[in-house]
């Protein structure tokens, strides 16, 4: 049985913000969401978040989340031990197989495999996630005896001169047998330099009971970094992006510059994917084998088929792209768009809520919205689907093999039949017959020997 308690009642004064600290973002997601997600991968029987400052805002942010999150209120912040004690009545499991894990809401990037190692080590009763730092200032120090066994944790403000030299520090994360934790929490006191109930005092209590404390170290330095200020937030963001870049490189993706690569969500890549500099991936993005993404593209919630090339400065969101297509440079693909295999969408083309069939092309300067476009259709430069009458939206249908001349307006709802041709400059207000030429254009006239006006002389 596993309880996970996330401490998130602190103020976060140094963020200089009206938003509670744990709702500030790392990689596009609130810090607390990272932790909740990681915690959920451990399948805890109970997951609780202790809130205090900004409690209502935090609760509000997770209304309707699934599985539901339980929040426990700590009205006064009297220390980490006091915070965990607020959950005492709700901790599950009295037997030796129930454990409780404590995490910090402002240390968002601890990884599941580290927590699993911590959980395994805790079978002996209590395991601490510790780290050795060249500058341990501010942290609780791990005190060990001559045999190297942990005897206690001493906070910076309570430490002796000798203890201040200890470089092994407490990250704050721990796993402990639940029934002991409950007992120890009730006997904590606040007679220390800060007048707080320290969770860390349970370590000496465990030792007194003959429990041998286990310690586990994280794999990545970013896993235990906390965020107390905007500077620390920005630094952790960069470290995390570097880690994500490293994972992509390890998986065989070519990143032209791993320092100019950002993922705010998940990015899954097939074989031989190449990503140029300055790209941003948001939500869930999947790039199939052989996809190339040019510089400075933004891709959000998109599926890109194999062999597709997306060129510089393209912006794609909530869309599905087939195989061997060509997009951009400067293309904008908006929600609800499906691009068929081998289709082309060129520069300054905006496509929204449209199905573009296989081998169809819209290469230059067009707006195509709410349209169903068949196969092998050519959309000329400057084509506009007039899909909106100011109140309602209507669809445009263009059947297979149609050819839309340049500078054409398709006033929806309207259908262009299969194989139809629209002459350049047409404003189509009624359906165009299949396999015919339709054009709406003032007939061209010529005035022979016509003289241009000449400039009047000043009098």
Binding site for ligand UD1 (CB under 6 A): 7-10, 50, 74, 77-80, 82-83, 104-106, 139-140, 153, 155, 169-172, 198-200, 226
Contact 80, 171 (CB under 8 A): no
Least separation in angstroms between CB 57 and ligand UD1? 14
Q: H-type helices in 109-229, by residue range?
A: 112-121, 161-164, 178-186, 202-208
- Closer to ligand UD1 by Cβ: residue 7 or 267: 7
Alpha carbons 163 and 325: distance in angstroms, whole number: 64
- Closer to ligand UD1 by Cβ: residue 17 or 436: 17
Alpha carbons 455 and 55: distance in angstroms, whole number: 76
> Measured at the alpha carbon of residue 232, what is the angle toward residues 249 and 81, in degrees to the nearest 5?
110
Two structure tokens written together for 191: 């007679």
Alpha carbons 1 and 128: distance in angstroms, whole number: 19
Alpha carbons 381 and 352: distance in angstroms, whole number: 17
24 is catalytic: no
Return the number of other C-beta atoms located less than 10 Å from residue 289's C-beta.
Answer: 13
Q: Strand pairing partners for 293?
A: 275, 310
- Closer to ligand UD1 by Cβ: residue 155 or 282: 155
Contact 45, 92 (CB under 8 A): yes
| Measured torsion, CA atoms of residues 190, 191, 196, 198, in degrees rounded to the nearest 10 | -70
Nearest to 181 by CA among 209, 153, 157: 209
DSSP letters, 204-231, are: HHHHHTTPPPEEE--SSGGGG----SHH
Q: H-type helices in 50-199, by residue range?
A: 55-61, 80-85, 112-121, 161-164, 178-186
Alpha carbons 194 and 177: distance in angstroms, whole number: 27
Q: Which of 53, 179, 309, 364 is catalytic?
A: 364
- 163-168 long-range contacts, Cβ below 8 Å, gap at least 24? 164/136, 166/136, 166/141, 166/142, 167/132, 167/133, 167/134, 167/136, 168/130, 168/131, 168/132, 168/136, 168/141, 168/142, 168/144, 168/215
Catalytic site positions: 364
């Amino acid at each position: 049985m596993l309880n996970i308690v996330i401490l998130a009642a602190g103020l976060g004064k140094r963020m200089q913000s009206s938003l509670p600290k744990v709702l500030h973002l790392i990689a596009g997601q609130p810090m607390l969401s990272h932790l909740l997600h990681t915690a959920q991968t451990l399948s805890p029987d109970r997951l609780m978040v202790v809130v205090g400052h900004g409690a209502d805002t935090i609760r509000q942010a997770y209304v309707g989340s699934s599985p539901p999150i339980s929040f426990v209120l700590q009205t006064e912040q009297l220390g980490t031990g006091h915070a965990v004690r607020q959950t005492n009545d709700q901790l599950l499991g009295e037997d030796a197989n129930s454990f409780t894990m404590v995490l910090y809401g402002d240390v968002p990037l601890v990884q599941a495999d580290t927590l699993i190692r911590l959980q395994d080590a805790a079978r002996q009763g209590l395991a601490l996630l510790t780290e050795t730092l060249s500058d341990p200032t501010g942290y609780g120090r791990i005190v060990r005896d001559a045999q190297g066994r942990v005897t206690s944790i001493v906070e910076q403000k309570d430490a002796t001169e000798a203890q201040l030299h200890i470089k092994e520090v407490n990250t704050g994360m721990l796993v402990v047998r639940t029934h002991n934790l409950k007992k120890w929490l009730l006997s904590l006191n606040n007679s220390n330099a800060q007048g707080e109930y320290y969770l860390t005092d349970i370590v000496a209590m465990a030792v007194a009971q003959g429990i041998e404390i286990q310690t586990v170290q994280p794999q990545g330095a970013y896993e235990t970094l906390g965020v107390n200020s905007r500077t620390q937030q920005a630094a952790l963001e960069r470290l995390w992006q570097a880690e994500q870049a490293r994972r992509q490189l390890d998986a065989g993706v070519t990143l032209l510059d791993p320092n100019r690569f950002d993922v705010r969500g998940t990015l899954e890549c097939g074989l031989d994917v190449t990503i140029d500099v300055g790209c941003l991936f948001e939500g869930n993005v999947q790039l199939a084998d052989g996809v190339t993404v040019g510089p400075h593209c933004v891709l959000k919630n998109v599926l890109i088929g194999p062999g597709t090339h997306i060129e510089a400065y393209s912006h794609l969101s909530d869309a599905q792209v087939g195989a061997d297509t060509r997009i951009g440079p400067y293309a904008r693909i908006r929600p609800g768009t499906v691009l068929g295999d081998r289709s082309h969408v060129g520069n300054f083309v905006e496509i929204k809520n449209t199905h573009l069939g296989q081998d169809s092309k819209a290469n230059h300067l067009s707006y195509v919205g709410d349209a169903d476009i068949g196969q092998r259709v050519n959309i000329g430069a400057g084509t506009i689907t007039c899909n909106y009458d100011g109140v309602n939206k209507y669809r445009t249908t263009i059947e297979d093999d149609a050819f839309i001349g340049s500078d054409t307006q398709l006033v929806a709802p309207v259908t262009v039949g299969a194989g139809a041709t629209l002459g350049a400059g047409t404003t189509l207000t009624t359906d165009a017959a299949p396999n015919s030429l339709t054009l709406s254009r003032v007939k061209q006239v010529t005035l022979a020997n016509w003289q241009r006006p000449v400039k009047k002389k000043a009098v």
